[in-house]
């Protein structure tokens, strides 16, 4: 999937836990983990808007597109660093 989710980056910048973000957004920690780990196939605009409101950011701070080759190379690098 060429869309990368950078929720971890924003959580670190805001010094916020996944559980706290899930509570404040109104979704389960399990559903937030699916989104955060890039396993989600879709995200509702209402959820995206709530994430942006709680994290005081723009959608582009949470989502970015990268070419398939770049995404695969990053995944391989992350697996090697493991």
pLDDT digits (tens, 9 = 90+) for 22-72: 999 999 999 999 999 989 999 999 999 999 999 999 999 999 998 876 656
Distance CA 15, CA 51 (A): 15
Token pair of 25 as six digits: 């957004």
Which backbone phi and psi does 73 adopt, to 5 degrees?
-65, -40
Answer whether 71's CB lies under 8 Å from 5's CB: no
Answer whether 52's CB lies under 8 Å from 11's CB: no
Answer whether 58's CB lies under 8 Å from 52's CB: yes
The confidence score (pLDDT) of residue 67 equals: 82
pTM of the model: 0.78
> What separation, in Å, do the N-terminal and C-terminal C-alpha atoms of the chain show?
21
């Amino acid at each position: 999937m060429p869309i990368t989710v950078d929720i971890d980056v924003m959580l670190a910048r805001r010094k916020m836990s996944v559980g706290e973000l899930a509570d404040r957004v109104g979704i389960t920690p399990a559903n937030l983990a699916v989104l955060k780990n890039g396993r989600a196939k879709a995200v509702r605009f209402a959820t995206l808007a709530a994430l942006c409101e709680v994290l005081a950011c723009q959608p582009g701070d949470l989502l970015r597109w990268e070419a398939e080759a770049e995404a695969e190379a990053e995944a391989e690098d992350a697996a090697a660093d493991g």
